[in-house]
Amino acid sequence: MDERRPLKDRTKLVHAGRHPFEQHGFINTPIYRGSTVLYRSYADLVARNAKYTYGTHGTPTTDALETAWTEIAGAAGTVLAPSGLSAVALAILSAVKAGDHILVSDSVYQPTRNFCDRFLKRMGVETTYYDPWLGADIADLVRPNTSVIFLETPGSQTFEIQDVPAIAAVAIEKDLCTILDNTWATPLFFPPHRFGIDLAVEAGTKYLSGHADLLLGLVSANERWLPRLRAAFDLFANCPGPEDVYLALRGLRTLELRLREAERQGLSLATWLSERPEVARVLHPALPDCPGHAIWKRDFRGSSGLFSVYLNPVSRPALAAFLDGLTLFGMGFSWGGYESLVIPFDCSTYRTATTFASPGPALRFSIGLEDPEDLKADLAAGFERLNAAR
């Protein structure tokens, strides 16, 4: 490969982690199933002298995904996990010990918060939630025992864009580990380690899968943090099943195509929603009037198909009339699949460092691959029902 002209992401996605001639020329790395790996001799067994030593430590299938993700994320290495949430937990547990204090963005994925409040607390690790709009001022919250700054940008549900370079600079100066949940952007739209992030988490359940048919997590690390991440992975042996890894590899090859389409579809629907009288505000970082847009534009290479809206005040029955009659939008958790989804949400009950300011109900949309005109017609009919039920 010509070092002066590095491959583009799309090309990397097609070629990364594949070795057809190590498998009789077949294009895709097959599904290796297995616990036991045989050694050729007593001496080899004692020395663990083999490329693969036991199923939990990796197979050619898991290797293919780890290697490919490492290349795409611009990392030194990657480990896999059986869900996005277990990847979050693994990343944090690689970096904390009893007696530590960690800083976590107030806008993180709610189950990440539950992990901090209900598990880390019990293990003697204290969490302070910080306002995601804090940049370099986060330094004021750092204590002598602070070990981690956990970021998620944009934030879950409310899409705050964090100033990652400013926060990473504080972390580097104070020798803290930065962990970023990068699920929304993926490394294609936000290359985490280039921005100084130590450990980057991706819920592969979302866009890497793209088909709502698997659960998977990935944690990539820079050179400095990879040994501690790999050691934690080996201690837990919390590994995903081979079929799920295979499906993720399959999804990887078309990730850029699907993300670019999700971006186009998402922007089309978000713009349309921003013109509706029932909508008070659209939270989509690529729209110029969204708070955080300037930082998004400075740091990100694209936007995905997940965004939220704040509605003007309406009654519960009117909201139910809107949601229950939708025919193309499904209601359910998770996102990033080929099908459009909508869920209502309310952050006012659990956030502690920010105030949730929706005037009426709030909705999160994941825009799929349907024709956008059909999606708009489904929502327009919903708004008619909503207005009739007022």
Ligand X SMILES: *Cc1c(COP(=O)(O)O)cnc(C)c1O
Task: Find the shortest distance in angstroms from Cβ 5 to ligand X.
Answer: 34
Question: Starting from the edge strand earliest in sequence, which strands make up the sheet with 341-345, in order?
Answer: 279-283, 306-311, 362-366, 341-345
Nearer to ligand X, 205 or 340 (CB): 205
Nearer to ligand X, 82 or 382 (CB): 82
Which chain residues interact with ligand X by CB under 6 A? 83-85, 88, 109, 152, 156, 181, 183, 203, 205-206, 215, 217, 334
Q: How many of the other CB atoms lie within 10 Å of CB of 372?
A: 17
Task: Find the shortest distance in angstroms from Cβ 266 to ligand X.
Answer: 15
For 110, the token pair is: 């709610």
Nearer to ligand X, 142 or 304 (CB): 304
What's the one-letter identity of residue 130?
A: Y
Radius of gyration of the chain (CA): 22
Residue ranges of E strands in the chain:
77-81, 101-105, 126-130, 146-152, 177-181, 199-203, 217-221, 279-283, 306-311, 341-345, 362-366
Task: Find the shortest distance in angstroms from Cβ 88 to ligand X.
Answer: 6
Task: Find the shortest distance in angstroms from Cβ 154 to ligand X.
Answer: 9
Task: Find the shortest distance in angstroms from Cβ 380 to ligand X.
Answer: 28
Nearer to ligand X, 151 or 314 (CB): 151
Nearer to ligand X, 52 or 236 (CB): 236
* Dist. CA 128–CA 84, nearest whole Å: 22
DSSP 330: B
Q: Sign of torsion, CA 234 235 236 237?
A: positive
Nearer to ligand X, 62 or 142 (CB): 62
Task: Find the shortest distance in angstroms from Cβ 336 to ligand X.
Answer: 8
Q: How many of the other CB atoms lie within 10 Å of CB of 154?
A: 28
Of 109, 80, 110, 116, nearest in space to 95 by CA: 116
Nearer to ligand X, 199 or 203 (CB): 203
Closest-CB residue for ligand X?
A: 84
* Dist. CA 333–CA 50, nearest whole Å: 42
Task: Find the shortest distance in angstroms from Cβ 216 to ligand X.
Answer: 7
